[in-house]
Amino acid sequence: MGNGLIDPFGREISYLRVSVTDRCDLRCFYCMPEHFNDYTVPDHWLSFDEIERVTAAFAALGVSRLRLTGGEPLVRKGLPELATRLAALPGITDLSLSTNANRLAQEAVALKQASVSRLNISLDSLQPKRFQLITKGKLDKVMAGLMAAKAAGFAPIKINMVVMKGINDDEVLDMVEFCLEHRFTLRFIETMPMGETGRNARDSYYLSLQTVKARLAEHYNLLPSIMEGGGPAQYYTIGATGLKIGFITPISQHFCATCNRVRLGVGGTLYLCLGQEHSVALCPLLRAGISDVALQSVIRKALWLKPLEHTFNQMQTQVLRFMSMTGGK
């Protein structure tokens, strides 16, 4: 057997998504339930030392890409320090962060200095009132964060927009123009039924991105393209502008056959699939003093639990976790 992490379906796992919190300072209605206001760090959360240990074990097994996510990663105190430690691990070549940008104005420079190489930022509307309705947040604060990231030199910056029928689908062209102006990469995302919030959003507002793609093709010349990153987006360039647009289509055209990732939850649970419950609890092992070699062996064996694909399209499926519990991503 080689050194890489290979799952039962022959897929190589090279990307670990690390959730550093399940808390958030926004409340996107498709993601997070409205109650949930505690910002203390519970004992069952992994400490930075523990996150570093698990991540180092993955890196030793061939994982080269890390993404910090949540919840909102920037609500976890000291995040730039954690980023610095993880970026320095042997074998890690790409450390990225997903954020809502609400606190980015204060943190952008520190994150850049901490060797975060790429930022993906959620932005579902350019209209202040609508933004507030979707997220309960203030658009001007998020915009300030976004511009601070640009000024700090992050490139590419990827904008993630969950496109929902009757909520914000009339803004896709505005979003293209906004991203053209600022040289951001734009990715559209389909609503997934994660937790009760996600299921409600999927049932009421799901829109296939195939429709959005067709609408955009009436306005722009979409040329198939590729983009740096380890994610599932299918990219196009708009004519000669250089603007890249990605379509993330877990429902209308899923990408599980090329899945390259697993997730570490904030409580130390290793989730083998975003859309399934298969998992292994690493926290008790860490706290019982497991050795590095044994930890690597547990991770290798855990990979055999990785399912082939999600079952989001089967109505009876109940994924109980909210997206904020494991991170989109």
Among 5-13, 68-76, 177-185, 212-220, which window interacts with ligand SAM (CB under 6 A)? 68-76
Those residues whose C-beta lies under 8 Å from the C-beta of residue 252, and which sit 6 or more positions away, are: 190, 208, 209, 210
Q: Does 92 bind ligand SAM (CB under 6 A)?
A: no
Which of ligand GTP, ligand SF4, ligand SAM, none does 198 bind, CB closer than 5 to 8 A by kind?
A: ligand SAM
Which residues of the shown chain bind ligand SF4 in the complex (CB under 6 A)? 24, 26-28, 31-32, 70-72, 100, 122, 135, 232, 255-256, 259, 261, 273-275, 309-310, 323-324
- Report the C-alpha gap between 261 and 270 in whole angstroms: 11
89 vs 164 by CB, closer to ligand SAM: 164
- Report the C-alpha gap between 194 and 28 in whole angstroms: 13
Q: Which contacts of 111-115 are long-range, i.e. CB under 8 A and separated by 24 or more positions?
A: 111/79, 111/80, 111/83, 111/152, 112/152, 112/153, 112/154, 113/80, 113/84, 114/80, 114/81, 114/83, 114/84, 114/87, 115/83, 115/84, 115/87, 115/88
**Does 172 belong to an annotated binding site?**
no
Sheet harboring 261-264: ordered strands across? 222-225, 234-238, 244-248, 185-189, 157-162, 118-122, 94-99, 65-69, 15-19, 261-264, 269-271, 279-281
Which of ligand SF4, ligand GTP, ligand SAM, none does 309 bind, CB closer than 5 to 8 A by kind?
A: ligand SF4
71 vs 231 by CB, closer to ligand GTP: 231
Which of ligand SAM, ligand SF4, ligand GTP, none does 191 bind, CB closer than 5 to 8 A by kind?
A: ligand SAM
- Write down the least CB distance from residue 9 to ligand SAM, Å: 24
Place of tokens 């992490």: 5
Name which position in 189, 264, 299, 325 contacts ligand GTP (CB under 6 A).
189
Among 43-51, 88-96, 144-152, 188-196, which window interacts with ligand SAM (CB under 6 A)? 188-196
Which of ligand GTP, ligand SAM, ligand SF4, none does 194 bind, CB closer than 5 to 8 A by kind?
A: ligand SAM
- Report the C-alpha gap between 286 and 269 in whole angstroms: 11
β-strand 261-264 against 269-271: which pairing, if any?
Answer: antiparallel
- Write down the least CB distance from residue 248 to ligand SAM, Å: 8
Binding residues for GTP: 17, 67, 98, 158, 261-263
Binding residues for [4Fe-4S] cluster: 24, 28, 31, 256, 259, 273
Residues that bind ligand SAM (CB under 6 A): 24, 30-31, 69-70, 72, 98-100, 122, 160, 162, 189, 191-192, 194, 198, 201, 323-324, 327-329
Residues that bind ligand GTP (CB under 6 A): 67, 69, 96, 98, 118, 120, 158, 160, 189, 229-233, 248, 250, 261, 274-275, 310, 328-329
